[in-house]
Amino acid sequence: MDKKIAVIRGDGIGPEVVNEAIKVLDKVAGICGHRFEYTDLLMGGCSIDAYGVPLTDETIAACKASDAVLMGSIGGNTSTSPWYRLPADKRPEAGLLRLRKSLGLFANLRPAMLYKELYRACPLREDIAEKGFDMLIMRELTGGLYFGARHTEEVGGVMTATDTLTYNENEIRRIAVKAFDIAIKRRKKVTSVDKANVLDSSRLWRKIVDEVAGDYPDVSYEHMLVDNCAMQLVKDPAQFDVVLTENMFGDILSDEASMITGSIGMLSSASLNETRFGLYEPSGGSAPDIAGQNIANPIATILSAAMMLRFSFDMDREADMIENAVSKALAGGYRTGDIMSEGMTRCSTSDMGDIIAKFCG
């Protein structure tokens, strides 16, 4: 099969980790007789440097003309980088938010599982870690606080900032349907997370999720308040299968979930619209402090490429090849610095890519 992939390497460790994902994709393409054609695009800080804006209309058009988008990460050090002296809507993150919105990527899937080999990298107490966990966070990605109107003004001589959190029932329904659809293929449990004891948007969220749940009698579901969920994630992560939540709660909870897998460098993600099109990126950031040193963990990006094969290209066998290769690399004791433990073999970003590519075939 021939596929056109838009590639946004981005900033910080982005280019390094994307290179390893492409290495692995090319290996799989060679074995299975596919042809992947890559188009390099700029977004984030590198786009600001080149074009003065974090995302150009041409980049959006090129993404739309592709079968999927593979991304690294964007942004820099928020205290020191000149990108953060620009107005908020000209900063690197604004580019990512606009790209998600322009491509209609409302469903963000962030799987978080504990590999048994990484058990020792998990910061949780041993009796909790040994039970393992395998959850998928379904984060709403194009609504809520990140897209509501915002402004800062002086009110009676006092600086005042306002952000607005809005959801309509259609936005809630379509993400809830995605969550229940995927739960059917997993362990058939949805935990819908909100703050319904305080927020109107959460009360509507609950009502609509209840309605959607009625169409899925085989899926068990529950509601959980977000503060309790943050606690349950470290107390008993094994209880979760699909965690359905709105944009900001999902942003925060997915970072927490990633950390208990051992490292944020392990967490892949897929952002999907109503069609098969998607954007695939590691959940972690651009880690400017370790950029360019060939020490970042490329596994999250490599696993994101596997999600791209599975969700956008319908290549389950090829996705399995990559996921199995990652397991073999971990079982073989290969570790980047973030997941290193005693007795293991420390490897660089590019070593890890080589090893995973080797285990694909």
Q: Tell me which residues touch ligand IPM (CB under 6 A).
A: 75, 93, 96-97, 251, 283
Residue list 197-226, contact with Mg ion (CB under 5 A): none
CA pair distance 327, 349, nearest whole angstrom: 16
Among Mg ion, ligand IPM, none, partner that 76 touches (CB below 5 to 8 angstroms by kind) = none
What 3-state DSSP class applies to 361?
coil
Tokens of 76: 């820099």
Q: Which string of DSSP letters, residue by residue, matches 60-82?
A: HHHHHTSSEEEEEE----TTT-G
Minimum Å gap between C-beta 283 and Mg ion is 7
Minimum Å gap between C-beta 188 and ligand IPM is 27
Catalytic residue among 11, 67, 194, 251: 251
Minimum Å gap between C-beta 108 and ligand IPM is 8
Q: Half-sphere exposure of 243 toward its Cβ, with a 13 Å CA cutoff?
A: 34
Minimum Å gap between C-beta 193 and Mg ion is 16
Q: Which string of DSSP letters, residue by residue, matches 110-167?
A: EEEE--GGGGGG--S-HHHHTT--EEEEEEE-SSGGGTS-EEEEEETTEEEEEE----
Burial class (CB in 10 A: 0-12, 13-18, 19+), 54: buried
Q: Clarify whether 255 is annotated catalytic.
A: yes
Instruction: Pick the closer one to ligand IPM by CB: 181 or 255.
Output: 255
Q: Clarify whether 314 is annotated catalytic.
A: no
Q: Which of 16, 251, 318, 338 binds Mg ion (CB under 5 A)?
A: 251
Residues with Cβ within 8 Å of residue 85, at least 6 apart in sequence: none
> Cβ(257)–Cβ(298) under 8 Å?
no
Instruction: Pick the closer one to Mg ion by CB: 67 or 251.
Output: 251
Instruction: Pick the closer one to ligand IPM by CB: 234 or 248.
Output: 248
Q: Clarify whether 210 is annotated catalytic.
A: no
Minimum Å gap between C-beta 146 and ligand IPM is 7
What 3-state DSSP class applies to 334?
strand
CA pair distance 196, 341, nearest whole angstrom: 41
Residue 200 region by backbone torsions, left for phi larger than 0, else alpha for psi between -120 and 50, else beta: alpha
Instruction: Pick the closer one to Mg ion by CB: 246 or 318.
Output: 246
Instruction: Pick the closer one to ligand IPM by CB: 182 or 300.
Output: 300
Which amino acid, residue 315?
Answer: M
Longest CA pairwise span in the chain (Å): 68
Q: Clarify whether 167 is annotated catalytic.
A: no
Label each residue of 232-282 as H, E or C.
Answer: HHHHCHHHCCEEEECHHHHHHHHHHHHHHCCCHHHCCCEEECCCCCEEECC
The span of 36-44, 175-183, 248-256, 305-313 binding Mg ion (CB under 5 A) equals 248-256
Among ligand IPM, Mg ion, none, partner that 96 touches (CB below 5 to 8 angstroms by kind) = ligand IPM
Instruction: Pick the closer one to Mg ion by CB: 129 or 175.
Output: 175
Q: Clarify whether 251 is annotated catalytic.
A: yes
CA pair distance 336, 347, nearest whole angstrom: 5
Minimum Å gap between C-beta 349 and ligand IPM is 20
Instruction: Pick the closer one to Mg ion by CB: 194 or 251.
Output: 251
Minimum Å gap between C-beta 12 and ligand IPM is 11
Catalytic site residues?
Answer: 146, 195, 227, 251, 255
Which positions touch Mg ion (CB under 5 A)? 251
